[in-house]
Structure 1
Amino acid sequence: MSTHPRQRRLHRIAMVTVHTSPLAQPGEGDAGGMNVYVLEVARQLARRDIAVDLFTRTTSAAQPPVVEVEPGVVVRHLAAGPYEGLSKEDLPGQLCAFAAGMMRVAAHAPPGYYDLVHSHYWLSGQVGWLAADRWGVPLVHTMHTMARVKNLHLADGDEPEPRGREIGEAQVVEAADRLVANTDREARELIELYDADPARVAVAEPGVDLAVFSPGSRDEARARVGIPSDAVLLLFVGRIQPLKAPDVLVRAAAELVRRRPDLRSRLVVGILGGASGTGVRNPMGLTELAQQLGIADLVRFVPPVDRSALAQWYRAADLVAVPSHSESFGLVAVEAQACGTPVVAANVGGLPTAVGPAGVLVDGHDTADWATALESVIGDPRGAAVLARTSVEHAAGFSWARTAQRLAEVYADAMDHPREVPIHDAELLAGIPTAVIP
């Protein structure tokens, strides 16, 4: 809630990601696209001479307090509650401890060490709000996911986000100098569902590492990941939880086999990821579903892999399915397309932006509709080849360098034109003697 005018060029920012480390393996626990986003953006900002300190919670005794990722990018692990055994839902009770850790770091640094705070996800926003206010710098916040959006698109049997999260998000929206949305649609959701000031909402689309995710030989990729060269590989990549809807792909694959029995001898359904969120409560749910549908022998579960191996899986696939019920952007879709793999995705959230005209969008999650969409790709080799070419062209329009450049512009605007203190806050401060204001 800064009212300080910009006094110098932006040198260093404090980036806050409380609940998941940017160094964590995406696809495990709560790590996903946000982890990739935060780390890639930090690297690109550092290459623009904007140093980034990434604050995250310590989750293992083996984690060093400070990790230099590359010059200008430092990850700081802060103790906030037990290292292990805390779920994301437990973390609101640890925000005070986390904030105290940030204050201690700043106390040992020169005055004015941080020029701006950029928080990611609402838990980080609560801490970022305090830090920015204490340091007298702007707060920039990126939601990544929003409770009110998720609750509008719940999967069957999934649990709604709690009221406390909605309230916490609304507070961060009110406090932030700038709000960064991944897409125009997310920007509208911030304005319509959270009453955000349109003048304080900016869009910065995520990127993709085109040096890692690029087209390659499907046969070579299949040899590396152990998939037969003549297989029909339908691939899901992501955290295994109701929100991401891998069950939609499994059900659609069973329907495909029913329609086309000739596929049974060649079809492989790859599920690449780890249990997360409410999916942890029933880790065998997908396996049991595949057994009930009679295709357990066709489904292959693969634990999360590093980025180079992930690119091989994308290249090996005939298509990548992204059937999420809610998705702020859909990084998996762009990564797959960058590898020249057609994408079939749910027509929700940011996926229309991520997929663009290069993929197939499916309205809803009906099994028959999804089976038809999958069949439209694997049953039409010529059309699939066209999708592959247009996918590469579409993905080339996304880059982390562009994302970082847009964020740098948002940071500069926040420093040059900070949000004014609301009238009720100004009246409150007016009654306090200046000497006691820190």
Structure 2
Amino acid sequence: MRPLRRIAVLSLHTSPLAVPGGGDAGGMNVYVRFLSRELVAMGAEVDVFTRMTSRDLEPVEYPRPGARLVHLPGAPSDEVPKEELPSRLPELERQLRLFAASDGSRYDVIHSHYWLSGRVGLALQQDWRVPLVHSMHTMAKVKNQHLLPGEAPEPRIRVQGEQQIAAGCARLIANTRTEATELTDLYGAAPGKIDVVPPGVDLTTFHPGGRSSARRTAGIGEDEFHILFAGRIQVLKGPQILLAAAELLRQAHPEMKLRISIVGEPSGATRLDLAPLIHRHGLAGRVKLAPPVPAGQLAAWFRSADVVAVPSYSESFGLVALEAQACGIPVVATNVGGLPSAVSHGATGLLVDGHGAQDWAAALAELYEYPQFRRRLGANAAIHAAAFGWEQTAALTAHSYQHAVDHFRAGRQIA
């Protein structure tokens, strides 16, 4: 196999440098950043194309030798919401083409992330005559299966776009086998062109240790039961479920010194104002709201917790759950999407079927009532997460790239 030298990565709707937990930033931003870093470490040259976050940025950043981050000015994220991006894609595509042409860039493979980037990637695959590998990260048809009452379904243009990408790209990368099944069952993707590649975790940042100092920094007493939520403050991520469960938890255990920390900010169409919910559930003075923080500070938040809650309605994988476990903290998560792949029920945490407050309260109570069990889960969690290094993710992704290139060239020769 010929080594792949140049890779074009499309992350058009959100910058990989954005801090997860706010705006449109989440696990995908971490994924693109660390995958690109490891591909460069393997000897590839990587250009990541994204839209500007503000007009003050330099057109091109150089995070490390062999890597470039190209800011396209067609739809700055501080001016244009993600919902308007479909109409801006032609301009972003035009600017991307202009950059590649003026720079003389030639790529071996294109890797697009999320459907907006995939739409542009399909056009580039045809014109540049190089294969497109696509990662969905989330899918409209899956999200539409989990709509809450009154919640608007994903737009038809997205469903159609994902359908076209699934049919037209050279290969698809799924985070889990569950996602691979969804691609075949819901989108008719050919099973033979899907590669399952689990995301990684930055084990140099997320690791056990420093619990006492982390709790002191966060203002958490040693005798307090500390539950942490980290992510965007929106209905889909389920912080409202945690607050409802916390009220029942306090009623069942009035002696409990309960503390809840929520790290993130409201975003998206289903954004939440948590202040009224905190008051309604009688949790005033027990809940701390904190803004999104860089990875090092987030790791400290995890280490300060007794348990991390991930009550999402839909997750393609659940990187927060993996990062928390890497810090030696057990996770209570919804039994949906890719979370069963990230959390081993009864071994590294607990999985809850559904979003009933009573069920969530019972799961959290189990970890409160049995501290030895909680500590054993945390120790297992660190071992479990250590198997998910980004080096492995990059190696498997590079293998997918090579399959795409080989099959793409063979198809062209036959044609």
Q: 1: distance between equivalents of 2:79 and 2:171?
A: 34
* 1:306 partnered with 2:294: yes
The farther-off stretch of 132-141 and 147-156 is 147-156
Q: 2: distance between equivalents of 1:248 and 1:242?
A: 9
Question: Are the aligned partners of 2:343 and 2:349 in contact in 1 as well (CA < 8 Å)?
Answer: yes
* Paired position in structure 1 for 2:365: 375
Which residue of 270, 284, 293 corresponds with 1:296? Answer: 284
Q: Percent identity?
A: 49
* Paired position in structure 2 for 1:434: none
How far the C-alpha of 1:58 sits from its partner, in A, is 1.0
- Structure 2 residue identity aligned to 1:99: E
Which residue of 382, 394, 405 corresponds with 2:395? Answer: 405
Question: What CA deviation, in whole Å up to 9, does each residue of 1:77-105 have, x standing for no partner?
Answer: 00113553321111000100110011111
* Paired position in structure 2 for 1:114: 107
Q: 1: distance between equivalents of 2:23 and 2:395?
A: 30
Question: Are the aligned partners of 1:158 and 1:242 in contact in 2 as well (CA < 8 Å)?
Answer: no
5+ residue gaps, structure 2: none
How far the C-alpha of 1:420 sits from its partner, in A, is 8.2
Change over 3 Å in CA distance of 1:50–1:105 after alignment to 2: same
How far the C-alpha of 1:134 sits from its partner, in A, is 1.2
Which residue of 155, 158, 168 corresponds with 1:165? Answer: 158
Q: 2: distance between equivalents of 1:308 and 1:82?
A: 27
Question: Are the aligned partners of 1:151 and 1:160 in contact in 2 as well (CA < 8 Å)?
Answer: yes
The 5 A counterparts of 1:9-408 are 9-81=3-75, 84-110=78-104, 113-263=106-256, 266-280=257-271, 283-284=272-273, 286-356=274-344, 357-408=347-398
* Paired position in structure 2 for 1:429: none
How far the C-alpha of 1:156 sits from its partner, in A, is 4.1
Q: 2: distance between equivalents of 1:141 and 1:185?
A: 17
Q: 2: distance between equivalents of 1:95 and 1:296?
A: 45
* SS state at 1:171 partner: helix
Question: Are the aligned partners of 1:155 and 1:325 in contact in 2 as well (CA < 8 Å)?
Answer: no
Question: What CA deviation, in whole Å up to 9, does each residue of 1:172-213 have, x standing for no partner?
Answer: 111100000000100000000000011111111000011100
* SS state at 2:269 partner: helix
Question: What CA deviation, in whole Å up to 9, does each residue of 1:44-96 have, x standing for no partner?
Answer: 00011111100000120121110111111110000113553321111000100
* SS state at 1:262 partner: coil
Question: Are the aligned partners of 2:55 and 2:76 in contact in 1 as well (CA < 8 Å)?
Answer: no
Q: 2: distance between equivalents of 1:161 and 1:415?
A: 32
Aligned CA-pair RMSD: 1.6
Q: 2: distance between equivalents of 1:217 and 1:65?
A: 40
Q: 1: distance between equivalents of 2:149 and 2:318?
A: 21
The 5 A counterparts of 1:421-432 are none
Change over 3 Å in CA distance of 1:303–1:293 after alignment to 2: same
Q: 2: distance between equivalents of 1:419 and 1:48?
A: 23
Give the structure with higher Rg (CA): 1
Change over 3 Å in CA distance of 1:313–1:377 after alignment to 2: same
- Structure 2 residue identity aligned to 1:146: M
Question: Are the aligned partners of 1:79 and 1:97 in contact in 2 as well (CA < 8 Å)?
Answer: no
Question: Are the aligned partners of 2:51 and 2:76 in contact in 1 as well (CA < 8 Å)?
Answer: no
TM-score by length of structure 2 reads: 0.96
Q: 2: distance between equivalents of 1:217 and 1:108?
A: 50
Question: Are the aligned partners of 1:155 and 1:245 in contact in 2 as well (CA < 8 Å)?
Answer: no
Change over 3 Å in CA distance of 1:288–1:197 after alignment to 2: same
Aligned pair count reads 411
Question: What CA deviation, in whole Å up to 9, does each residue of 1:243-294 have, x standing for no partner?
Answer: 111111010001101111112xx211111101111244xx42x211111111
* SS state at 2:57 partner: coil
Runs (4+) of structure 1 exceeding 4 A deviation are 419-422
Q: 2: distance between equivalents of 1:157 and 1:294?
A: 26
How far the C-alpha of 1:325 sits from its partner, in A, is 0.4
* SS state at 1:418 partner: helix
